Amino acid sequence: MGFDLKEYHVRKATGEEVLVRNIYCIGRNYVEHAKELNHSVPNEPFFFQKSLPSLNISDTIYLPVNREIHYEVEIVLLIGKSGISQSVDDSLSFINGFTIGIDLTDRNFQNMLKEKQLPWLLSKSFSGSAVVSEFIDEEISDNFWIKINGESRQESNYDNMIFSFQDQIHYLSNKIPLMVGDLIFTGTPSGVGILNKDDDVKIGYGEKLINSLKVKSISN
C-alpha cells in the first residue's frame, strides 16, 4: 500500500482540513489507569509518539492478525500554532480543536518491549492505530467515554487528569517545539481492554455520540 502526505490530515467541524505533522501521546495521565497497569504515578509528564501512518480518520478499525490489540479512549488536541509555550497560562492559545480518539495498543508486544527496556514505538504505531474523530472548537468538559457492543468500558473527565492540557502543552513544547497540525492524545482513564473482530465501538462525550466504528480483521 502506498502512502502520501494527503492522507495525513484531520477534519474540523467547519469543513477545514488540517495536515497532521506529529502525533504525541502522554502516558499514565490518570491515576487509576496507572494502577491497573501496575505502574507508578509519574511526577512529570512523559510522552511517546505514534507514526503518521497510524492515523485513522475512518469509521473502521482494522486489527492486525494474531495480535492482542487494546483500546484506550482519549481527548485529543489539535495544535494550531507553532512554537514554544512561554508559560502554562499561554498554553491554551496553541489549541485549535478538540475531539475524542482511540489510542490502539499492541499490549503483549508493548509489555515485551517494556521488559527489555526498549521504546514502545512499534507497539503503538501500526497502521490505523491512532483513531481520530472530527475536531470541534469547544473544549470537551463533559465526561468522555467508549462503549463496546453497547457496554460502557471507559468513562472519565478532564478534571481527573494528573497533568492538564496546559501542563502538557507547556512541558512538551519546551522539549520539542510544536508545529501547526500536531496532535496530542491527552491520556486514557482506567478500563482499557481487548478489541475483537466485529465489535461495535462508539465514542463520545456527555450525551453526544462522536463516532461509531466497526472492528474488522486486517485480512478482510
In contact, 33 and 193? CB cutoff 8 Å = no
* pTM attached to this predicted model: 0.94
The pLDDT of residue 220 is 45
Distance CA 213, CA 202 (A): 6
Write the DSSP string, 88-112.
Answer: GGGGGGGEEEEEEEEE-EEHHHHHH
pLDDT tens string, the chain, 220 residues long: the values are 445 656 799 999 999 999 999 999 999 898 776 667 666 777 899 999 999 999 999 999 999 988 999 999 999 999 999 999 999 999 999 999 999 999 999 999 999 998 999 998 999 999 999 999 999 999 999 999 999 999 999 999 999 999 999 999 999 999 999 999 999 999 999 999 999 999 999 999 999 999 999 999 886 4
Number of H helices, E strands in the chain: 4, 17
The pLDDT of residue 219 is 62
The pLDDT of residue 6 is 60
In contact, 119 and 12? CB cutoff 8 Å = no
**What is the helix (H) or strand (E) element at residue 120, kind and residue range?**
none
Cell numbers standing for residue 122: 512499534
In contact, 78 and 57? CB cutoff 8 Å = no
Dump pLDDT digits (tens) for 17-28. 999 999 999 998
Find the distance separating the first CA and the last CA of the chain, reported in whole Å.
15
Other residues' Cβ atoms within 10 Å of the Cβ of residue 160? 15
